[in-house]
A and B are shown apart, each in its own frame.
Chain A
Amino acid sequence: MPTSIKHLSRRKLLAVTAAATAAAVGLAGCSNSSSNPGSAPAAAVSQADIDKAMTTPTTLTFWTWVPNIDKEVALFQAKYPAIKVNVVNAGQGSDAYTKLRTALKAGKGAPDLAQIEYQYIPTFSITKSLVDLRPYGAAANQAKFVDWTWNQVTGPGGEILAYPQDTGPMGMLYRADLFEKYGIGVPKTWDDFAAAARKLHAADPKVYLTDMAANEAAAWHGLMWQAGAKPYTVDGSTVGLAVNDPASKKVADYWGTLAKEGVIATDPDFTDTWFQGFSSGKYATWLTAAWGPVFLSGSAKTTAGKWRAAPLPQWDSAKPASGNWGGSTTAVVKGTQNPIAAAKFAEFLNTDPATASMFNTVQNFFPATKALLADPAFAGQKSAFFGDQPVNELFAGIGGTVDSAWQWPPFLDQSVKDWTETAGTALANKADVAAATDQWQSRLTAYAKDQGFTVQGG
C-alpha cells in the first residue's frame, strides 16, 4: 500500500485522478458492462457525476444478514433521500454466498451490494464479481480503517473491493472462577496453555480447558494466522498453497497432541451441546474473536461475572500476535446499474461516525475504524459479564497485533471442506492432525489444478 495515499484528502485525490482521466469521466458510472479491468487503473468518477447520482431517484438492493441494519440504512436515507435502499436478508454466510453465486451465474437477480466476510472476498473477486471502488474515491478512506482490514479488502492489483465493517481479532475468554478453583494462572504462552489443559482435566475429568471445535475451520485459520502461517498466496491465476507449512504444522501438532491426550474437547461449535458446555462449565476458556464477549454474555447468562478476557496465549511472548476470525464487509456487486450510488452507500455505511458507532451499539459489532476503537466511550465500556473488565480496550489492543500480510484463497469453501474432512476429522478422531494437513494440502492442490490454477508449492 503506497503510504502517500494515506495523507491525501479525498477531494485532492479525486481531483488528481479525475484530471488524469478526464476523457473517461462518467463512463464508468453509466456502463453496466463487466468491462472493469482487474488491475488496470480505473477511471475516477467526477464529483459532479457523484452529486448527480446521489440526487437521482434510485433503488439499491442490499443483501445482508446483519440484524436491524435498517437503522443504519435510515441514517443514509436521511442524508440522501433520493436513494432508496432495499435491504434483503438472503441468509447468513455460505447460504447467502450460494445465492449470490447462483444469481451471478444466472446473470440476473444479483443485488447491488452484498455483505461479504473478509475471507470470501478473493472467492468473489476471482470471478470478477466485485466492483473496484477506486473510481468512487475509496482509496481516500484507507486511513480510517485498521491497517490489516484494508489489506483484506484490497485485491492483488490494488483494487479496493469492499469496505470493512466489523472485525474479529482473536483473544481468550476464560472462567476466572474455575482457574482460581484449580490453581491455574492465565496462560501467557501455548506451553502454559497445554500444561493448564492437562492440570485442569486431571483435577476434574468433566472439565476441559477449551473446546477446539473440529468443524471450525475459521477459528483454526485464525490460529494459523497467529502462528505466522502463510498458507495462501494469490496472484491472478497463480496460487501458492502451503496449508502444511511449518507454522501450520506446528498449530496442527499442538492441538492434535492435546486432543489425543483427551485434555481438550473437540465438540462442534454453535451446536446445542456446545452452548450447554459453556453454561455447565464444561469448557473453561473460549478462544474466540472480539465479537465473542457479547455473544457469550447472551448465550451463557448463568455464568455472568465469572468470565474474564485475555490475549491469546503466544508462541513467542516477545512478539505478541493474533489472528482474525470473522467480521465482514460491504461490497458492490458487478452488474449493478447504479455503481456510484452503491459505492457511496457502502462508503457511508462504514465510514460515517454515526453508523460506525451504531454498528457497535445496536449490532454489537467490533469496529473496524480507528476512530471508534480509540473512542473512550467505546474502549472504556465495562461489561458486568466480565467482572467490569474493559473488554473492548483489550481487543482493540489485540487488533493491533494482527498480521496484515495474511491472504485468503480464491476457493475458500473448498479449503474449509477439505480441512474439515482431513485435519478436522483427525482432530475429532484423536488421529495425527499434522499428517492430516498433508492430505489437506494434496486435496486442495488437486482441486486448484483442476480449476485451472497454476499452483506453487503443491
Chain B
Amino acid sequence: MAVEAHGVRQRPGFHRPGRLAGRGRPPSPAGGPSIRRSFAITTTTSAAPVAAHRRRPRAGQGNRGYVFVAPFLLCFLLLFILPLGYAAYLSLFKDQLVGGTVFVGLENYVRAVKDTQLLGGVLRVAVFFAIQVPIMLVVALGAALAIDSGLLRFANVFRLGIFIPYAVPSVVAALMWGYLYGPDFGPLAQLGDRLGFTAPDLLSGLSMLPSLGNIVTWEFAGYNMIILYAALRTVPADRYEAAAVDGAGAWRTAWHIKIPALRPALLLCLIFSVIGSFQLFAEPNLIQRLAPTVITSSYTPNLYAYSLAFTSQQLNYAAAVSFLLGLVILVVSYAVLFTASRGPRR
C-alpha cells in the first residue's frame, strides 16, 4: 500500500518547487541575499557571466521587483496601514456625547489595561486557544495523514467532506450549530425528551466555551488539514524510499518522516490559530442571540471592541482596545514561534 502511495507521489506536477529552483544553481561567488541571487540566475544563464557586468542588471532588476510588488504594496498601504494608522490616531482621543472630541494621549490605553471586562475576555480566548487549538490541529493532522497514507478508499470524498465546513460562511455555521444546540427543539434535546433524560444545556454558562470550540473546530479543521496535506505532498519521495528500504511501515513513516516534515506547516497553522482564537467574533456574536445572558458584550475581546464602538459609541476607546488586542496577538504569536524554534528538532 505504501508503494501505491509512492506511485501517486511521483506524478509530475507535484514536485517540490524548491527543488526546481535549486536545481542547476551555479555556486554563487558573491554572498548576496538569496532572492537576488536567483533573480540573477534566471536572467543571466545564457549570457556569459562576467563579474563586472553582473552588477548593473542586478541593480536595475532590483528596482523592477518593486513594480511587481507595487499592486500588493498599494493595497497593503491603503487597506491595512492607513486604517491602522487612523485607528491609532483615533485611539488618542476621546469623543463624548456631551463635550465633543478631546485629545487624551494614552488615557484610553491606561484605562484598557485596567479594564476587567477586557482582561476577562482575553483570558477567556486564551483558555479557548489552549484547549480548542490542540484538538483542532490533532483532528486536522489525523485527517491529512489519513488522506496522504493512500489507505482511504474514497480519499477525495473524505478530503472534500472535511474541507466543506470551511467553505460554509461562519454565519451559516453558527446558525446551524445554534439550531443543533437548541435547548428545546435541537436534536439532542428532542432525543433526550424521547428517551426520558434531560439533555445537557449546551448553551449554558459552563458549556458555552466548549460549544463554541466545537463550532470552530468543525469549521477550521478542514482548512488546517489542507495546509498540512499540501505540506505532506512536498516531502521528497526519496525519504519514503529510504524509509521503505529500511522496512518502515505506514505508522513508522508517519511518525518519523511525515510529522517531522510537517513542523513548519504545523507552526503556520498554530500562528493562524492564535490569530483566529484571539479574534474570535462571528460565532459568539451569532450565538449571543440564543444565549444573550451567557455571551456578554465582553465575552471575547473583539466582541467587546465591537460593542464599545457600535453600542456604547466609544469609538476611540474601542480603537485602543483593538490595538491592545493586536499587541496581545503579536506577543502570543512570538511566544509560540520562540518556543517552537527552541523545541527539540527531530
A401 → B minimal CB distance (Å): 30
- Min distance, Cβ B318 to any Cβ of chain A, angstroms: 13
Q: Is the CB of B96 within 8 A of A451?
A: yes
Sorting the interface of chain B by its residue count into under 10, 10 to 19, 20 to 34 or 35 or more gives: 20 to 34
Q: List residues of chain A with CB within 8 A of the CB of B183.
A: 267, 273
User: Is B103 located at the chain interface by the 8 A CB criterion?
Assistant: no
Determine if A424 is an interface residue (Cβ-Cβ < 8 Å). Answer: yes
Q: A268-B292, A273-B183, A413-B312 are in contact. Are A453 and B297 (CB under 8 A)?
A: no
For residue B295, give the distance in angstroms from its CB to the closest CB of chain A. Answer: 10
Is A452's CB under 8 angstroms from B185's CB?
A: no
Q: Within 8 Å of chain A (Cβ to Cβ): is B333? A: no
* CB of A132, distance to nearest CB on chain B (Å): 19
Residue of A nearest to B297 (CB): A417
Which residue from B97, B291, B312 sits with its C-beta under 8 Å from A452? B97
Give CA–CA (A276, B311) in the complex, Å.
30
Per-residue 0/1 for B309-342: is the Cβ within 8 Å of any A Cβ (1 yes, 0 no)?
Answer: 0111111000000000000000000000000000
Residue-wise, chain B 276-318 has the 8 Å CB interface mask toward A (1 for contact) of 0000000000000111110011000000000100111111000
Let me know if B293 and A272 touch, CB within 8 A: no
A105 contact set on B, CB distance < 8 A: 315
A451 to B99, CA, bound (A): 8
Would you call A180 an interface residue if the criterion is a C-beta within 8 Å of the partner chain's C-beta atoms? Answer: no
Contact B312 A424 (CB under 8 A): no
User: Does A276 contact B293, Cβ atoms closer than 8 Å?
Assistant: no
Q: Which residues of A contact B195 (CB under 8 A)?
A: none
B150 near A: Cβ within 8 Å? no
- Say whether A452 contacts B179, CB under 8 Å: no
Are B312 and A277 neighbours in the complex by a CB distance under 8 Å? no
Q: Does B20 contact A (CB under 8 A)?
A: no
The residue from B182, B297, B312, B313 contacting A273, defined by CB atoms under 8 A apart: B182
Pairwise interchain contact B98-A237, C-beta atoms closer than 8 A: yes
A127 and B97 form a contact (CB under 8 A): yes
The reply to whether A450 and B179 contact each other, CB–CB distance below 8 Å, is: no
Given contacts A237-B98, A411-B97, A411-B313, contact A271 B290 (CB under 8 A): yes
Flag whether B184 is at the interface (Cβ < 8 A). Answer: yes
**In the complex the two chains form, is B293's CB within 8 Å of A214's CB?**
yes
Contact assessment for A414 and B291 in the assembled complex, using a CB-CB cutoff below 8 Å: no
Report how far A450 CA is from B314 CA in the complex, Å.
10
Is A77 at the interface (CB under 8 A from chain B)? Answer: no
Q: Decide yes or no: A273 and B184 within 8 Å by CB, A126-B97, A421-B297 being known contacts.
A: yes
A414 touches B311 (CB 8 A): yes
Type the 1/0 row for A409-426, where 1 means its CB is closer than 8 Å to any CB of B: 011011001001100110
Q: Which listed residue, B99, B184, B310, touches A276 by the CB 8 Å rule?
A: B184
Which residue of B291, B292, B293, B310 is within 8 Å of A98 (Cβ)? B310
In the complex, the answer to whether B289 meets A268 with C-beta atoms within 8 Å is yes
Interface residues of A in 218-261 (CB under 8 A from B): 237
Cβ-defined contact, B312 with A272, below 8 A: no
A447 at the B interface (CB under 8 A): yes
Q: Are A268 and B291 in contact (CB under 8 A)?
A: yes
Q: A237-B98, A268-B291, A272-B179 are in contact. Are A413 and B296 (CB under 8 A)?
A: no
> In whole angstroms, what is the CA distance A276 to B184 when docked?
8
Q: Report Cα–Cα, A126/B313, bound state, in Å.
A: 13
Q: Which of A277, A428, A452 sits near B293, CB closer than 8 Å?
A: A428
> Are B293 and A447 neighbours in the complex by a CB distance under 8 Å?
no
CB contact between B307 and one of A237, A273, A417, A428 (< 8 Å): that residue: A417
Q: How far is the CA of A126 from the CA of B97 in the complex (A)?
A: 7
Chain A residues with Cβ below 8 Å from B296 are: 420-421, 425
Complex contacts, A425 vs chain B, CB 8 Å: 293, 296
Most buried by B among A105, A273, A453: A273
| Residues of B with C-beta under 8 A to A126 | 97-98
Residues of B164-221 contacting chain A, CB below 8 A: 179, 182-185
Minimum distance in angstroms from B155 CB to a CB of chain A: 37
Q: Shortest Cβ distance from A122 into chain B, in angstroms? A: 11
Of chain A, the residue at the smallest CB distance from B184 is A273
Bound-state Cα–Cα, A268 to B293, Å: 9
Contact across chains for B184 and A420 when beta carbons are under 8 A apart: no
- Using A271-B289, A272-B185, A420-B292 as known contacts, say yes or no to A453 and B98 having CB atoms under 8 A apart: yes
- Within the complex, the shortest CB–CB distance from A192 to chain B, in Å, comes to 28
User: With A424-B292, A429-B293, A452-B98 as given contacts, are A417 and B312 in contact (CB-CB < 8 Å)?
Assistant: yes
Q: Kindly state the separation between the CA atoms of A421 and B315 in the bound complex, as whole angstroms.
A: 21
Contacts of B315 in A (CB 8 A): 105
A196 to B313: give the CA distance in the assembly, Å.
43
Chain B residues near A452 (CB-CB < 8 A): 96-99
Taken together as a complex, chains A and B put the C-alpha atoms of A224 and B184 apart, in Å, by 30
14 extra interface residue pairs, beta carbon distance < 8 Å, beyond A268-B293, A421-B297, A452-B96 = A215-B292, A215-B293, A268-B291, A268-B292, A272-B182, A273-B182, A277-B184, A280-B184, A413-B312, A417-B312, A420-B296, A421-B293, A452-B99, A453-B97
Report the 9 A-B pairs with minimum CB-CB distance, sorted nearest first.
Answer: A452-B98, A215-B292, A452-B96, A452-B99, A428-B293, A425-B293, A237-B98, A451-B97, A273-B184
Instruction: Give A contacts to B, CB under 8 Å.
Output: 94, 98, 101, 105, 126-127, 214-215, 237, 267-268, 271-273, 276-277, 280, 282, 410-411, 413-414, 417, 420-421, 424-425, 427-429, 447, 450-453
